[in-house]
């Protein structure tokens, strides 16, 4: 189960009943994480009838996710494949983390990525939400209509920071 110490950092998420469980599925060389209900059946994460409390999803298993909506202030930044075999960050990921305000960051389910969480004061005007780099790393940014996994594997033990979208 989750390391309960991460709960103090994500308490603002925990207050909202926007959680789902997920399962790991291998599709070729790619691992996917489709959302599922308590019985393991695939669900539409965007349907609020499928959302549950943090306590409900963690009672099922430790594979949990949070659904981003237009009605919450959260921003999710996904840094894929940025931790190498020696545990070092890619240069651009290290620079991004250094430039942005300190916030809660955890290691993704793959073990080679990071998830950054922020609260927004305003709605960003994003032209694109995904950028692939030549080294195989990927940057994704979401603030609605998406769910993200929560591992509890804390990388930066800090509360979720609030930022303006202009800081992105």
Active site residues: 78, 80, 115, 140
Query: Of 108, 103, 101, nearest to 140 (Cα)?
Result: 108
Q: From its phi and psi, is residue 12 left (phi > 0), alpha (psi between -120 and 50) or beta?
A: alpha
Buried b (16+ CB within 10 A) or exposed e, 128-142: eeeeeeeeebebbbb
- In contact, 9 and 157? CB cutoff 8 Å: yes
């Amino acid at each position: 189960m989750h390391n309960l110490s991460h709960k103090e950092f994500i308490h603002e998420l925990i207050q909202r009943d926007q959680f789902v469980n997920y399962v790991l599925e291998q599709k070729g060389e790619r691992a996917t994480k489709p959302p599922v209900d308590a019985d393991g059946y695939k669900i539409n994460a965007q349907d609020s009838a499928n959302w549950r409390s943090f306590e409900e999803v963690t009672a099922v298993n430790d594979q949990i996710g949070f659904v981003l909506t237009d009605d919450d202030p959260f921003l999710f930044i996904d840094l894929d494949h940025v931790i190498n075999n020696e545990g070092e960050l890619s240069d651009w990921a290290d620079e991004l983390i250094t430039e942005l305000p300190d916030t809660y960051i955890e290691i993704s389910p793959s073990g080679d990525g990071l998830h950054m969480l922020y609260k927004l004061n305003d709605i960003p005007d994003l032209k694109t939400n995904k950028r692939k780099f030549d080294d195989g790393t990927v940057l994704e940014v979401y603030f609605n209509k998406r769910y993200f996994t929560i591992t509890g594997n804390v990388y930066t033990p800090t509360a979720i920071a609030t930022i303006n979208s202009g800081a992105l």
